[in-house]
Amino acid sequence: MLDGRRIVLGVTGGIAAYKAVEVCRRLVDAGAHVSPVLTSGALHFVGETTFSALASEPVQRTLWGEDSPIPHTRLGQGADLVLVCPATARVISDYRTGRSHDLLTATLVATRAPVVLCPAMHTEMWEHAAIQENLSVLASRGVHIVAPDEGRLAGGDVGAGRLADPARIVATVERVLGPGDLVGTTVLVTAGGTREAIDPVRFIGNRSSGKQGFALAAEARDRGASVILVTTTPPPPDLGVETHLVESAAQMHQAVVSRSADADVVVMAAAVADFTPVEVADSKLKKQEGPPRIVLEPTVDILAELGRSKRADQVLVGFAAETHDVAANARDKLVRKNADLLVANDVSAPGVGFEHDTNEVVIHGSEMEQNVPLTDKRLVARAVLDAVVAHRSARST
Ligand code: CTP
């Protein structure tokens, strides 16, 4: 799977450094050429000899070795991928700011290869706003982050921050270096909040920013999918996918229906208005005329309509922004709208949902339920598409 691929394995100074030995062994077994780069902190936890014995390339520790005057550029330019395992709070912060003071940080800044970071630290550090912000910035630059597990930590503590399982780390490396698990798949994503006109200047809207939908579109694109985006908000200019800009629920309905036949996966991340004014005033309503009476009528429920007509091979993903009874409402929507997956978030929680760069969700399927703790929307997108891929492969077996 990784035959001949050149991987720089950066190991930093955390208790989880011993697990990097297992990761190194698995990468070598999969056929990769592994060049270990150990920081001085790592050497407090693991020995150079262990990695030298396992890896195909010699261990490197310093910018000032005798073999090469510029080892970081040689490593950075020659790598197919740089994996940092474990990634401490320090290396994450240095990488975010471009501070390159040792061989590993200099290599990270000097490479154009994909980078995979595997954070591991105490729960308090993992949840600290500085760490989460650094990871958000790095994720938005395209860095792949293997979120830590919950479990036993150093000193007998238990919580989030434990290095991800070596199998998951190696699977991520294989995915990043592979052809992409959504190649040949068309993914339709909706994003943003619809606007229902009252008069030429006013509308009924909602707080959706479109960020979660854009993250889903970017993640699907990077995994090889053909992406169709139907959005109420213009996407970032570099998104580079087929985009249909709409405003109202009716326009979104029309755009989705016109393209959904081509889609293998439809992700309804948009916040679609449930009701729209029966009449739109031709000219601006005037205050002197007194408070207007706005009569509303239901919009078409796009997700439910797609759920009624979906092909056997189509995967339909809905979202549910809730403020109470989150799990019960989500499961109800999953069944009622005949979706395959329903991504629920409690938008009353801090840092979750509308207008934030972060989100915290639970992905519900008929036979699965997965918590995605508060993290960058790109990582939420990754978890949602992982669930889509798992759903498709379970269905095909
Ligand atoms: N949705 C849709 N068309 C609508 C309303 C919602 O396709 N007219 C989709 C949303 O994009 C989302 C899912 O349905 O994926 C859930 O939307 P939500 O508004 O939470 O569900 P409702 O059934 O409208 O329930 P309620 O507003 O009462 O919570």
For residue range 336-348, list pLDDT tens digits in order. Answer: 999 999 999 998 8
Instruction: Please tell me the distance from the alpha carbon of residue 284 to that of residue 67, in angstroms, as a whole number.
Output: 75
CB count, 10 Å around CB of 19? 22
Task: Identify the band that residue 69 occupies on the pLDDT scale cut at 50, 70 and 90.
Answer: low
- For residue 18, is pLDDT > 90? yes
Q: Which residues' Cβ are closer than 6 Å to ligand 1?
A: 249, 268, 270, 272, 274, 299, 301-303, 318-321, 333
Strand duo 33-38 + 81-87: pairing:
unpaired
Phi-psi region of 126 (alpha: psi -120 to 50; beta: other; left: phi over 0): alpha
pLDDT of 154: 80
* Residues with a known catalytic role: 206
Instruction: Please tell me the distance from the alpha carbon of residue 47 to that of residue 70, in angstroms, as a whole number.
Output: 24
Delineate the domains of the chain, giving CATH numbers in brackets: 6-176 (3.40.50.1950), 186-396 (3.40.50.10300)
Task: Identify the band that residue 63 occupies on the pLDDT scale cut at 50, 70 and 90.
Answer: confident
Report pLDDT digits (tens) over 168-198: 999 999 989 988 889 999 999 999 999 999 9
Spatial neighbors of 344 by CB under 8 A, at least 6 apart, are 319, 320, 322, 326, 327, 329, 330, 361, 362, 363, 364
pLDDT of 42: 96
Angle at the Cα of 386 from the Cα atoms of 114 and 189, rounded to 5 degrees: 95
Closest Cα to atom 24 of ligand 1: 274
pLDDT of 153: 81
Instruction: Give the DSSP per-residue string, 138-198.
Output: HHHTT-EE-PPEEEE-GGG-EEEEEPPPHHHHHHHHHHHHSS-TTTT-EEEEEESB--EES
Report pLDDT digits (tens) over 136-150: 888 878 888 998 998
pLDDT of 246: 98
Give the global pTM: 0.73
Report pLDDT digits (tens) over 278-318: 999 999 999 999 999 999 999 999 999 999 999 999 999 99
Closest Cα to atom 12 of ligand 1: 319
- Between residues 164 and 350, which one has the greater pLDDT? 164
Closest Cα to atom 17 of ligand 1: 320
Closest Cα to atom 3 of ligand 1: 301
pLDDT of 31: 95
What is the C-alpha R_g of the chain?
Answer: 24
* Token pair listed for 49: 């000899």
- For residue 239, is pLDDT > 90? no
Q: Which atom of ligand 1 is nearest to the CA of 317?
A: 15
Angle at the Cα of 374 from the Cα atoms of 368 and 378, rounded to 5 degrees: 85
Instruction: Please tell me the distance from the alpha carbon of residue 148 to that of residue 160, in angstroms, as a whole number.
Output: 7
Question: Residue 86: is the preceding peptide bond cis (ω within 30°)?
Answer: yes
Instruction: Give the DSSP per-residue string, 120-134.
Output: ---HHHHHSHHHHHH
Q: Are 266 and 217 in contact (CB under 8 A)?
A: no
Instruction: Please tell me the distance from the alpha carbon of residue 210 to that of residue 372, in angstroms, as a whole number.
Output: 19
Distance 320 CA to ligand 1 centre (A): 7
> What is the pLDDT of the chain when averaged over all its residues?
93
Q: Which atom of ligand 1 is nearest to the CA of 271?
A: 11
Distance 306 CA to ligand 1 centre (A): 12
pLDDT of 16: 95
**Residue matched to tokens 């955390």:** 14
Report pLDDT digits (tens) over 309-321: 999 999 999 999 9
Instruction: Please tell me the distance from the alpha carbon of residue 7 to that of residue 113, in angstroms, as a whole number.
Output: 10
pLDDT of 204: 97
pLDDT of 137: 86
- For residue 243, is pLDDT > 70? yes
